[in-house]
Chains A and B, each alone.
Chain A
Amino acid sequence: MSVLLQAIDIHKLFGKQHVLKGVNLDIEEGRTVVIIGPSGSGKSTLLRCLNLLVKPDRGKIIFNGIDITNSKVNIHTVRQKIGFVFQQFNLFTHLTALENVMLGLVKVKNLSKQEALKIAKESLLSVGITEDLWVKYPAQLSGGQQQRVAIARAIAMEPRLLLLDEPTSALDPELTVEVLNVLEKLSRNRMTMVIVTHELGFAMRVADEVVFMEDGRVIEAGSPEKVLLKPEKDRTRAFVSKLMELYRMERIK
């Protein structure tokens, strides 16, 4: 399996705050990597560095063999190949679900309206958004529906890498399942994904690799069984067990 994306020694400062302190990450093609960690650990910032929404202060990001941190690279073309799904969905409020998915296809990839329509419809159906919802505006959709449309929007662009920043954190618990199922399906179809999440059950089932981050650094990385059930580092164990307890409480409810 080839390495699709490499993050090398990433540092990021926001004012005086040193948010990323030398992070290294290798993402192999076709694998699903889940990043876990306490809030403030820099997980979201790292994710945003991967498609250069945030520019690292030091370090390199090599995507598909190209150093995208080099300012000479046209980042806009690169971003077409990297999909991003946000915690707050971020659907375009002034467009319907269908138009949201079509916008990038027509205006960025310059496809014809018919082609874009076809791809958009397929995308939406693959995430379980049925035809009656296509003409609805985001304000008229539930959180789970909005997030699935957001996923459809990202995958319609046929990216080689999909980044997801806590995709289910803003959802009511009942709606989380429908989104996680979509992500599981994508993972089984060998989409390369990096997901920041707290959903440990999902990580156990679906992830090929789990990365634990704390305080701007990668503390431990490995298979889900290793990191979640038999962690090496104390800090990992402390975090995971705390989360598991929360999880057990949720389950009992």
Chain B
Amino acid sequence: MIDSIAYIFTRYCQDLIRAFMLTLQLSLLSFILGFSGGLTLSIVRTLAPKPLEVILRLFVEIVRGTPMTVQLFFVYYALPVIGPKLDPFIASLIALSINSAVYQSEYLRSAMNSIPRTQWEAALSLGFAELSSMFYVVLPQSLRIAIPTLTNELIYIIKFSSIAYFVTLPELIYVAKWIGSKTFAFIEVYIIVAIFYVVVAFIIGEIMDRINRRLSIPGLTVERT
């Protein structure tokens, strides 16, 4: 089995690398879009009036209560009815980003709620308006607290970018199946791809942990489990 692994790796190296880059692009982009969306969502939910908050809460519960697969299929197959036909990458990007934005907003909100209300009061007492208090006092602290959880979210997205397989995006799993069908060495390819994912998760984890340590402030450190 080891020699078939080596064989596949050398013969199909290019295809694997290309698929790997696609997976990485999709994941990183979804994470970044998810972060911007999630940050905005969490700020709006914290500062907004009740009616808006309820509508947003409804949206959040819907996204959290349905599987990513359903969301992806919906964007790829159902949306084109009222809009343009989306290519697999864009559809996956949209579905993953929205999903991630919702989850990240929940993590950020939980981090914001863990900051004592009194930090907020101190900012207001100096003359800060609500939004500025959020920006200069609450967010710098909550973002630091949220880094470990967001790191796990990034790794989660890299894993789940694999559902793009279902909509024919040539990411790692899809290409693995393709190589398998040509060589009949399915297990070997799957193992190679599994190793890819494990290594990526490990590297990203280490990078983010290092960043976390750099940004940490005495009194505001959280470790990742």
A residues contacting B by CB (< 8 A) are 51, 53, 76-77, 79-80, 82-84, 86, 88, 90-94, 103-104, 107-109, 137-140, 153-154, 157
Q: How many A-B residue pairs have CB under 8 A?
A: 74
Interface flags, B124-159, vs A, CB<8A=1, else 0: 111111001000110011001000000000000000
Whether the pair B126, A94 counts as a contact (CB closer than 8 A) is no
- Ranked nearest first, the 8 interchain pairs of A and B with the lowest CB-CB distance are A139-B219, A80-B127, A84-B125, A90-B122, A104-B126, A139-B218, A79-B127, A108-B127
Tell me if B118 is interfacial: C-beta within 8 Å of chain A.
yes
- What total of chain B residues lie within 8 Å of the partner, measured CB to CB? 22
Closest partner residue, chain A, to B123 (CB atom): A92
Task: Out of A77, A82, A86, name the residue touching B122 (CB < 8 Å).
Answer: A86
Q: Which residue, of A79, A91, A154, has the highest number of chain B Cβ atoms within 10 A?
A: A79
- Given A79-B125, A79-B127, A108-B126: A140 and B144 within 8 A (CB)? no
The contact sample of 12 A-B pairs, CB cut-off 8 A, is A76-B127, A79-B126, A80-B126, A83-B125, A84-B122, A88-B118, A93-B141, A107-B132, A138-B219, A153-B126, A154-B125, A154-B126
Task: Out of A82, A83, A93, A107, name the residue touching B217 (CB < 8 Å).
Answer: A93
Whether the pair B129, A94 counts as a contact (CB closer than 8 A) is no
Tell me if B2 is interfacial: C-beta within 8 Å of chain A.
no
**Least CB distance, A176 to chain B, in whole angstroms:** 20
Which residues of A are found within 8 Å of B144, using beta-carbon distances?
A: 94
Task: Out of B124, B136, B217, name the residue touching A53 (CB < 8 Å).
Answer: B124
Whether the pair A104, B127 counts as a contact (CB closer than 8 A) is yes
Distance of A109 Cα from B132 Cα, bound (Å): 13
Whether the pair A137, B125 counts as a contact (CB closer than 8 A) is no
Tell me if B168 is interfacial: C-beta within 8 Å of chain A.
no
Which residues of A are found within 8 Å of B206, using beta-carbon distances?
A: none
Whether the pair A86, B219 counts as a contact (CB closer than 8 A) is no
Tell me if B121 is interfacial: C-beta within 8 Å of chain A.
yes
Distance of A179 Cα from B217 Cα, bound (Å): 26
Which residues of B are found within 8 Å of A104, using beta-carbon distances?
A: 126-128
Closest partner residue, chain B, to A150 (CB atom): B122
